[in-house]
Amino acid sequence: MTAASLPPRPVTRFAPAPTGRLHLGHLVNAMFVWGLANRAGGRIVLRIEDHDRQRCRPDFEAALLDDLDRLGLVPDEPPTDGLRAGPSPFRQSDNGSAYEAAVQRLGEVADVYACDCSRSTFARWREAHGRPWSGPGCPGDCRAPGLAWRHDRGLRVALGDGAEAWDDLLVGPQAGPVAPDGDLLVRDRNGNWTYALCVVVDDRRHGVDLVIRGEDLLDATPSQVRLGRLLGRAVPPTFAHHPLIRRPDGSKLSKADGATAIGSLLDAGATPADLVGEAAARVGLLAEPRPLSWTDVPKLLANRRR
């Protein structure tokens, strides 16, 4: 990847979900977000992705804002104190009307329908057919009967068939189906707007044209590109999917790994430079951990190859 391949003066975002404490995996994402934005003279939006009302908690949000301050990570908008002050256009739970309006708009250009399928519906279909459901629709064929929209039913949007392709800044040319697991769920059975809908709506309304996130979300990109087009975004954002910190068994680090919680590590005496160096080494940007300042990160990323 070269600086020339980045959008000029891009807007990107750091968008944690307050379902637990920030950990070293978030620090990897922050390195790529702040590092690439700095290289390209870009701006960084801080967004709280708390669309999942059952898992997100205000105390986790407060902790992650404190951790960002302690790390010295300063977004261009909003300031962390702005989010502490009350409702914000950068907190998903405060902006349900934006997602409601997006679904109404989708209904004008695509089929949006209520769905009774649960995880167990998909599991039963897999057991009966020997493979997971894939492609448009859903196992219950919920689109056909025109079920009433209720808060205990999901909502899906028919994105059509086919694939979307893009040239990823970090992993190279990519392509994938837009409906790998069925028509896209935009509201779940608990009444939550889904990640897939919220990030597309928010990136458009916040002017984000560079999406930097973990490689575990590569498969989600085709449906989000298609969804954005249906919502009027003719040119999708540029994507950059970075490597993840992995456990020994190959699974990605998660908030359940309390030993890597940023706040706990800082409380134990680690410095931000110690943690940045540790995170960089965990994803192969350094041969071994050493203290690394935030000002060192852009140069480190400039030397990284695809």
The pLDDT of residue 260? 82
What's the average model confidence in pLDDT over 213-241?
Answer: 97
The pLDDT of residue 247? 74
Task: Give the confidence band of 285 by pLDDT, cuts at 50, 70, 90.
Answer: very high
User: Torsion angle, CA of 16/17/18/22, rounded to 10 degrees?
Assistant: -40
Task: Give the confidence band of 1 by pLDDT, cuts at 50, 70, 90.
Answer: low
Backbone angles phi, psi at 212, to 5 degrees: -115, 115
Q: What are the sequence ranges of the domains in the chain?
A: 8-302
Task: Please provide the distance, in angstroms rounded to a whole number, between the alpha carbons at the two ends of the chain.
Answer: 6
Catalytic residue annotation? 255
Phi-psi region of 7 (alpha: psi -120 to 50; beta: other; left: phi over 0): beta
Identify the CA nearest to 144 among candidates 152, 156, 135, 132.
156
Backbone angles phi, psi at 244, to 5 degrees: -110, 155
Identify the CA nearest to 75 among candidates 194, 200, 208, 261.
208
Q: Cα-atom radius of gyration of the chain, to the nearest Å?
A: 20
The pLDDT of residue 303? 81
Q: Which of 2-16, 35-49, 80-94, 144-158 has the lowest mean pLDDT?
A: 2-16
3-state class (DSSP) for residue 164: strand
pLDDT in tens, 101-117: 999 999 999 999 999 99
Task: Give the confidence band of 250 by pLDDT, cuts at 50, 70, 90.
Answer: low
Task: Give the confidence band of 192 by pLDDT, cuts at 50, 70, 90.
Answer: very high
Helix (H) or strand (E) holding 222: helix 221-230
3-state class (DSSP) for residue 44: strand
Which DSSP symbol is given to 214?
E
The pLDDT of residue 196? 97
**What is this structure's pTM?**
0.94
3-state class (DSSP) for residue 49: coil
What's the average model confidence in pLDDT over 239-247?
Answer: 92
The pLDDT of residue 272? 98
The pLDDT of residue 5? 81
CATH 3.40.50.620 is right for the domain spanning 8-302: yes
